[in-house]
C-alpha cells in the first residue's frame, strides 16, 4: 500500500514540476500523451484483456448490479448539477463524469490487493474491465459528447464525435467478439503488465500537469479548493455509489467484497482524458480527482494495518 501511495505522490509531483518548469511545453506534451493513450496504449490493453475475459454465475450478476448503481449515481449528479447547483453545461458534464467514473484500474486494483489480498485481484480486474472500462468508453464518452464545448451543438455532431473520438470502444467490442486464438497469452500478459504498472504513473502525471496549469491561470490553488461541486462529486462517488451497491446486493445476491471496494473508489483519472477530448470543465475534474484520491489513499493507509 505504501508503494502505491509513493507512486501516486511521485507521479503527481513530476507532473506539477514539469508544468512549473516547462509550462506550455509540458501542457502540450500532456495532450500528446493523452492522444497516445487513447489511440494506442488503451486500445491495445482493452482488446487483449477483454478477449480473454470469461464471466458467469453470481459474479456476473453482481457486475450487472454495478451498472444499475452507476445509472442511479449519474441521474443524481445530473439533477444536483442542473437543479441545485445551476452549473454550466461543461461543469455538469464534469460532475456526472467524476461521480460515475471510478479509478478502478490505476488505483482500485492495487488497493484491492493491498487491503483484501491476492484473491481479490480477479474480481477487482473483472469490475474494472466490465464496469470501469465499458462505462468509460460508452457512457463516459457519451457524457463528454453531450456536454462538451468542442463537439458542435447539433445532436448529429455530438453523436459523430462520440464514435469518431472513441477508438477504445471499438477495441472493446472487438475484444468481446474475438476468439481466444487472436489473443496469445504472452501478449495478454504484456497488456496486463501495462495496465498494472504503466497507467498509474501516466495518469497521475497528467493530473499533476492539469493541477499546476490551472493554478498558474489563477483559477485553482494547490491543493485545489474544496468547492460545492467537488463535495457533491466525492459524496456521490465514494459514499452513495457503494451504499447503492450494498443495498442492491442485499435485495438480490451477495457480491464479492472487491466489488464494494471498487464501487467506493476515487474519481477516475480518465475523466481528464474525456474532458480534454470533448471540452468539459477540467478544473472541476482535476479537483475532484485530487481530493478523492487523497481521501482514498489516506483511508487505505489507516485501514491496512487493521485488516
Among the listed residues 81, 121, 116, the one whose alpha carbon sits nearest the alpha carbon of residue 98: 81
Average pLDDT over residues 112-128: 78
For residue 215, the Cα-to-chain-centroid distance in whole angstroms is 23
Average pLDDT over residues 154-178: 70
Any idea what the Cα angle at residue 63 is, between residues 97 and 173, rounded to 5°? 70
Q: Which residue has the higher pLDDT, 111 or 79?
A: 79
Q: Which residue has the higher pLDDT, 6 or 226?
A: 226
* Length in residues, the chain: 307
What mean pLDDT is reported for the chain? 81
Kindly give the residue spans of alpha helices, DSSP state H, lying in 148-269: 155-164, 167-177, 185-193, 199-216, 228-235, 241-251, 257-263
Q: Determine what percent of the chain is predicted with pLDDT higher than 70.
A: 84
Cα separation, 130 vs 258, in Å, equals: 14
CATH number at residue 49: 1.20.1530.20
Which of the four pLDDT bands, split at 50, 70 and 90, describes residue 262? very high
Residue 217 has pLDDT above 50, yes or no: no
Question: What integer pLDDT is reported at residue 280 of this predicted model?
Answer: 92
162, 167, 173, 174: CA torsion to nearest 10: 150
At 92, which helix (H) or strand (E)? Answer: helix 89-100
Question: What integer pLDDT is reported at residue 129 of this predicted model?
Answer: 75
Question: What integer pLDDT is reported at residue 82 of this predicted model?
Answer: 96
Residue tagged 466489488 (cell numbers): 259
Cα separation, 277 vs 297, in Å, equals: 28
At 264, which helix (H) or strand (E)? Answer: none
pLDDT tens for each residue of 283-307: 899 899 989 998 998 888 887 777 6
* Domain extent at residue 20: 2-306
Average pLDDT over residues 28-45: 80
Q: Are 263 and 66 in contact (CB under 8 A)?
A: yes
Residue 13 has pLDDT above 90, yes or no: no
Q: Tally the domains of the chain.
A: 1
Q: Which residue has the higher pLDDT, 162 or 57?
A: 162
User: 194, exposed or middle or buried, with CB in 10 Å at 0-12, 13-18, 19+?
Assistant: middle
Residue 108 has pLDDT above 80, yes or no: yes
Question: What integer pLDDT is reported at residue 87 of this predicted model?
Answer: 96
Which of the four pLDDT bands, split at 50, 70 and 90, describes residue 134? confident
Amino acid at each position: 500500500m505504501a508503494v502505491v501511495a509513493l507512486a501516486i505522490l511521485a507521479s503527481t509531483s513530476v507532473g506539477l514540476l514539469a508544468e512549473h518548469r516547462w509550462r506550455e511545453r509540458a501542457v502540450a506534451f500532456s495532450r500528446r500523451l493523452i492522444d497516445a493513450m487513447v489511440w494506442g496504449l488503451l486500445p491495445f490493453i482493452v482488446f487483449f484483456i477483454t478477449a480473454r475475459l470469461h464471466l458467469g454465475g453470481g459474479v456476473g450478476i453482481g457486475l450487472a448490479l454495478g451498472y444499475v448503481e452507476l445509472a442511479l449515481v449519474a441521474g443524481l449528479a445530473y439533477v444536483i448539477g442542473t437543479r441545485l447547483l445551476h452549473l454550466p453545461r461543461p461543469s455538469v458534464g464534469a460532475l456526472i463524469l467524476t461521480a460515475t467514473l471510478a479509478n478502478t484500474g490505476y488505483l482500485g486494483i492495487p488497493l484491492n490487493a493491498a487491503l483484501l489480498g491476492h484473491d481479490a485481484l480477479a474480481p477487482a480486474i473483472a469490475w474494472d474491465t466490465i464496469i470501469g472500462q465499458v462505462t468509460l468508453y460508452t457512457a463516459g464518452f457519451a457524457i463528454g459528447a453531450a456536454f462538451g464545448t468542442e463537439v458542435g451543438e447539433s445532436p448529429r455532431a455530438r453523436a459523430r464525435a462520440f464514435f469518431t473520438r472513441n477508438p477504445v470502444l471499438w477495441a472493446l467490442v472487438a475484444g468481446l467478439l474475438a476468439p481466444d486464438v487472436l489473443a496469445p497469452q504472452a501478449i495478454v500478459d504484456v497488456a496486463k503488465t501495462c495496465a498494472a504498472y504503466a497507467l498509474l504513473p501516466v495518469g497521475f502525471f497528467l493530473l499533476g500537469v492539469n493541477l499546476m496549469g490551472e493554478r498558474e491561470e489563477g483559477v485553482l490553488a494547490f491543493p485545489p479548493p474544496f468547492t460545492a461541486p467537488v463535495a457533491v462529486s466525492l459524496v456521490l462517488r465514494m459514499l452513495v455509489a457503494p451504499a447503492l451497491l450494498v443495498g442492491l446486493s442485499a435485495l438480490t445476491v451477495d457480491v464479492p467484497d472487491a466489488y464494494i471496494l471498487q464501487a467506493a473508489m476515487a474519481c477516475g483519472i480518465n475523466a481528464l482524458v474525456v474532458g480534454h477530448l470533448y471540452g468539459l470543465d477540467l478544473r472541476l475534474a482535476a479537483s475532484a480527482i485530487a481530493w478523492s484520491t487523497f481521501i482514498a489513499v489516506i483511508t487505505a493507509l489507516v485501514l491496512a494495518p487493521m485488516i
